[in-house]
Amino acid sequence: MLDHKVWLAKALSDLRSAKKLAKDDDDTLDTSAYHTQQCAEKALKAYLVFKNQHVPRTHDLEKLLELCALLEPSCKILLSDVLDLLPYAIYSRYPDDRFNVSREEILSAIKKAAKILNFVKNLIEPEKAFNQTIFD
């Protein structure tokens, strides 16, 4: 099983990718959305690995959050953010006229993904919490 630090590093990479793609033209906003979901997914999986739990092969953020909340009930405060990011795992992957997102929505999604990543990072290594400037 991969170490939780590897999962956190991949989550941070997805967050940085989302930010970069959001600065580009509107044609990359869907890919930016996908990376916000991936950031959250990998952060939640990092927590499960940290707690020596089985990591299910799923993109379902709600299910992952439920598993994390069984171990740490305070995770429940992330539910609204998780539900907002959940559709980006599917709709941003395939050509679909139903998926149109604005830059404003993406910037909000980036903040939510950063919040989830930071929350998990604080649970795992509170003494090494992310410097907030990486999310600005």
Distance from C-alpha of 134 to C-alpha of 6, rounded to nearest angstrom? 18
pLDDT in tens, the chain (136 residues): 579 999 999 999 999 999 999 997 777 888 899 999 999 999 999 999 999 999 999 999 999 999 999 999 999 999 999 999 999 988 766 666 556 789 999 999 999 999 999 999 999 988 765 554 444 4
Contact 59, 14 (CB under 8 A): no
Kindly state the DSSP code that residue 86 receives in the 8-state scheme: T
Q: Residue 128 has which token pair?
A: 């090494």
- What residue ranges define each of the domains in the chain, with the CATH number in brackets? 4-135 (1.20.120.330)
Buried b (16+ CB within 10 A) or exposed e, 62-86: eebbebbeeeeeebeebeebbebbb
By CB neighbour count within 10 A (0-12 exposed, 13-18 middle, 19+ buried), where does 2 fall? exposed
